[in-house]
Amino acid sequence: DQQVKQNSPSLSVQEGRISILNCDYTNSMFDYFLWYKKYPAEGPTFLISISSIKDKNEDGRFTVFLNKSAKHLSLHIVPSQPGDSAVYFCAASEEGAQKLVFGQGTRLTINP
Amino acid sequence: DTAVSQTPKYLVTQMGNDKSIKCEQNLGHDTMYWYKQDSKKFLKIMFSYNNKELIINETVPNRFSPKSPDKAHLNLHINSLELGDSAVYFCASSPRGSGANVLTFGAGSRLTVL
């Protein structure tokens, strides 16, 4: 039973436009959510996070939105750049759980 | 200077063999993890160690045995390898008190069992 799901395996966006990556979760005990970015042959790297007490967190071109009632979060990248092409993983954790639960990733391709 | 380093990066071996993957972190973190990325691309936690003490074992078969000689190292030994063990194994670390909120990952070790 996958508690974190990213239902879009891939997404293609034109350079300069907005990229929106989605993530759904089922565990209502999750209270912290993160996005990781992964390039080929590298490990995932932390991108941005949000606590369940917030509904939005922004860092430069990256904004994460959390809708707790829908158990849904999204990552917005604007404007999208070619270097943003990567696999993006959504992850979540429960307070004190000492582990992250990951989705299966969405491959984002930014076209020039 | 690599923060979390794993060796080997690639490993190809026959069914039934025993193999090890090593991990070292130079971040001064207290907690280290092993994650497995399977064919369906999910990253799933296998083990977590906090300052050499096992704190998470996610129903991994006994053929997998982690060992943490000190808090900077977490090695993974796998006995009697099976086809289903083929995957990418990621080591990670996090600071004490952060829960698992921000992990720093190694580049991964791709294991192929023939």
Bridge partners of A58? A63
Regions of chain B where pLDDT drops below 70? 1, 97-100
pLDDT digits (tens, 9 = 90+) for A75-110: 999 999 999 999 999 999 988 777 899 999 999 999
Structural tokens at position B81: 């390898």
List Cβ neighbours of B29 (8 Å cut-off, separation of 6 or more): B71, B93, B94, B95, B96, B104
pLDDT at B100: 56
Q: What is the pLDDT of residue B19?
A: 97
Q: Which residues of B touch A89 (CB under 8 A)?
A: 43
Interface size A-B, in CB pairs within 8 Å, comes to 63
List the single residue in B4, B41, B55 with the smallest CB-CB distance to A105: B41
Peptide bond into B66 cis (omega under 30): no
Query: Which pLDDT value is given to residue B99?
Result: 55
**Residue B82: what pLDDT?**
96
CA distance A74 to A69: 14
What pLDDT, on a 0 to 100 scale, did the predictor assign at position B51?
82
Q: What SS3 class is residue B55?
A: strand
Please tell me the distance from the alpha carbon of residue B60 to that of residue B78, in angstroms, as a whole number. Answer: 11
Q: How far is B109 from chain A (nearest CA, A)?
A: 9
Nearest CA in chain A to B42: A104
Shortest CB distance from B107 goes to which of A41, A97, A101? Answer: A41
% of residues, chain A, pLDDT over 70: 100
- Other C-beta atoms lying within 10 Å of the C-beta of residue B42: 19
pLDDT at B97: 58
Q: How confident is the model at residue A53 (pLDDT cuts 50, 70, 90)?
A: very high
**What gap in Å lies between CA A10 and CA A18, rounded to an integer?**
15
Using a CB-CB cut-off of 8 Å, the residues of chain B touching A33 are none
Q: What pLDDT, on a 0 to 100 scale, did the predictor assign at position A31? A: 92
